Amino acid sequence: MASVRTVIGIDPGTQRVGYAIIEETNEGWRAIDSGVFQFSPRLPVAQRLAMLFEELTTLLSEYPPDCVVVEEPYVRPFGMKSALVVAQSVGVVKLAAVRAGVPVVSYPYTQAKRTLTGSGSASKTVLAAAVQQFLKLPELPPWQDAIDAMAFALCHCLLTPLSEEVQAIR
């Protein structure tokens, strides 16, 4: 009997949030769905976060995952304000996952790039090509946020072998 694991990857933000649903079997990976949730920058941040929670709750019920993977925010010395806003989005992702009873893990963007390409400083183009190759996609989604979400889901799959996670759940 083949083991199957469903992983949802999330690229957080407050105006645009990328998501990807990846299914892993002993034979490899398959993209089930991907896209972006878009929120008007004219809305207050709190309202966008509430809308994100609702979108994630729906996504988690439509595609019940074994794990949610979200980008760990990186704080640059000159970008503290934007990092704090993104961190709020990460908190909403974690809350939605925990409320759905789903484990949640996070990885820095450099870890996802290193795991998929061998270099933590790989360009977005190189990362996208790696995602396309791993998932055997005829074409990439039009949104970089969704591609990044795929990268986070794949990163987790590669760092946590299917057999280990299945045993941990049992």
Q: Which residues are catalytic?
A: 11, 71, 145
Contact 56, 39 (CB under 8 A): no
Tell me the two tokens of residue 27.
Answer: 């034979």
CA terminus-to-terminus distance, the chain: 16
Which residue spans within 89-168 are E strands per DSSP? Answer: 104-108
Look up tokens 């972006």; give the residue. Answer: 36
Q: Which residues contact 128 (CB under 8 A, 6 or more apart)?
A: 140, 144, 147
Q: Supply the DSSP string of 19-63, one letter for each residue.
A: EEEEEEETTEEEEEEEEEEE--TTS-HHHHHHHHHHHHHHHHHHS
